[in-house]
Amino acid sequence: MAEVDPPVIDEADEETSPKTEGFGFQLSESIIHAIDRQIVSSGLRLIMFLPAFAAITFFSSWAFSQSSPSFWEENIAPNIGLGFATFMASLTFVVVLGYILAVGFHRYRVSISLATFHERVNASNVQHRSVQSLHGYDGLLYQLQTSMAHHTKSLVLAITSAATLVMVFWYGTGTVYGNLFLLISVSFLLLSFGQHLPTRSTPFNMVEQTGLLPAYIPPVHPSTLNMVFNDLIKTHMDPLLRSQYDEYTKTLESSFKRGVDRHFAHEKFLMTLYRHATGLDRKTLESEMGEILTKKGMDHVFSHDTFTLEAWLVLLGLINQRCPAFFRMVDRLKQDLESGREPAMTDLIFEVDMENVVTNKANLFTLFHNLSDQTRTVVFRVQTPNFEPKDLALTYRLEPGEKYWWSSEALPLATKGDDDVLGKMSGLLKDSTVSWQTLIPTTAGDATVSVRLEETNGELLLGRQINVRVRAEFRQWLRSTSTYVSYLFGGLGLLAASVRLLMEVFGGFTV
């Protein structure tokens, strides 16, 4: 069956690409996203800079509400007829208007991306690729809708801040009511800023094929990887991209050369892409791909609209960031093969790795490979006082590999045939058993994890102790802390202003 490509957002495609009309021209989502990325949310970061600048002007207006500095009174006030506090309040109003435009533009871009997401999902349903039934869809949709709600609240609060600031000009900056409304205005601005900050942790767009990946967090993952690289990559793909990947792999499998094992070809394909992401040149990449793919398959890989080489680099980079332990384990095996180093046990390969710094959760990866010609059963045990679960025991039945995927002699990274590092590593991953366990930290600071490989009778074969440090991810901690501080000071400001305003209205108190 011929492959049906999903709709692609393009400026010329007026039906599938949301556009904004006005001023005699049209803006596509790609242009809006580019402006947002370069000026508003990233690049110049106006959406972050303007509130910070407004806080300075707010404070200046409040500090000089009773009297202007001497340089202003002597040189500037006679010419413009404004006090320093009134001028700073006016400047604040202009800055807040700019912030409203930035938040509104960013929210508009997010709304277009969300609408495009729903269009892509509907298009997939029409093509009988149900995205809603894929695991993780509900969580992703909730994340996107929550982000949209945060932007809406941020815009409303920013508009309220500007409207309240108008009351400052009505009563005057030197009056009690003027100062109270100035406090209310800055409080609403802080609340608006606090609504925006959480969305920076999960940005998304529909212009790039991998634009949903930063916002997608896999809810669960397999504990034992069957096709190692393939399972790892599919776990981190968002549902929309994963539905396209299933169609991609169908065409890819039909393009494998005769006599090449399908699982081996899958692992070598993804292993070669990973090596390309870490420095393998394009010529060697095409040569290694040509060993498993037909001419049709090569055209499919290098001319695909969605899974381009750039998209693979982004995807592999994201997985490397989230699961560094797996790639460290793979790189260590690669170095052993390149140097011809013998494994610790002659009949069994056992590798384990975990992140050095743990933030929200720890990913423990373990690889078992039976080098003998006999089936054997081993017990993998994890013991730790600093994570949950504290004691974990798994029994694995290890079948012998189809080939002896090791070498006591140094091997080149890539050469003709499978007697190179890429070929050996692909076969090793295909025949190995890879365990992926998630450990949840219970304490912060230094932590230890003891890993034991035992016979079924309890005899120790090999043991490792991993020392890690548990701490919060700095940028996430900074955003969370800044959000709570913005909510705290914004709420306290509104409370204090409300109490003081009630006292002025009903109590007859004066400053």
HEC string for 287-327: HHHHCCECHHHHHHHHCCCCCCHHHHHHHHHHHHHHCHHHH
In this prediction, residue 508 carries a pLDDT of: 55
pLDDT of 14 > 50? The answer is: no
Q: How many domains does the chain have?
A: 2
Give the mean pLDDT of the chain: 88
In this prediction, residue 87 carries a pLDDT of: 92
Residue 448 and residue 299 in one domain:
yes
In this prediction, residue 415 carries a pLDDT of: 80
Residue 388 and residue 281 in one domain:
yes
Residues 407 and 480 sit within 8 Å (Cβ to Cβ) = no
Residue 405 and residue 494 in one domain:
no
Residues 511 and 500 sit within 8 Å (Cβ to Cβ) = no
Residue 380 and residue 334 in one domain:
yes
CA atoms of 493 and 329, how far apart (whole Å): 52
CA atoms of 159 and 104, how far apart (whole Å): 10
Residues contacting residue 146 through CB under 8 Å, at least 6 positions apart:
none
Q: Which domain holds residue 139?
A: 19-210+478-507
Give the number of other Cβ atoms within 10 Å of residue 310's Cβ: 11
DSSP state of 72: I
Task: Name which of 10-24, 242-256, 448-462 the model is least confident about.
Answer: 10-24
* Helix axes of 228-236 and 239-254: crossing angle, nearest 10 degrees: 150
Q: 335-355: per-residue pLDDT in tens? A: 888 888 888 788 889 999 999
In this prediction, residue 200 carries a pLDDT of: 94
Residue 438 and residue 319 in one domain:
yes
Residue 168 and residue 261 in one domain:
no
Q: What is the mean pLDDT of residues 159-171?
A: 94
Most confident range (mean pLDDT) of 14-18, 91-95, 249-253, 420-424 is 91-95
Q: 186-228: per-residue pLDDT in tens? A: 999 999 999 999 999 999 999 998 999 999 999 889 999 988 9
Q: What is the mean pLDDT of residues 121-125?
A: 90
119 lies in a domain? yes
pLDDT of 291 > 80? The answer is: yes
pLDDT of 10 > 80? The answer is: no
Task: Give the closest residue to 497 by CA, choosing from 181, 192, 189.
Answer: 181
Q: What is the mean pLDDT of residues 96-105?
A: 97
Question: What residue type is 162 in one-letter code?
Answer: A
- DSSP letter string over 334-394? HHHHHHTPPPSBTTEEEEEE--SEESS-EEEEEEEEE-SSS-EEEEEEEE-SSEESSEEEE
In this prediction, residue 180 carries a pLDDT of: 92
In this prediction, residue 22 carries a pLDDT of: 39
In this prediction, residue 66 carries a pLDDT of: 84
Q: 380-421: per-residue pLDDT in tens? A: 999 999 999 999 999 999 988 777 778 877 888 888 877 888
Residue 253 and residue 126 in one domain:
no
Residues 316 and 346 sit within 8 Å (Cβ to Cβ) = no
Residue 360 and residue 236 in one domain:
yes
Residue 176 and residue 277 in one domain:
no
In this prediction, residue 422 carries a pLDDT of: 87
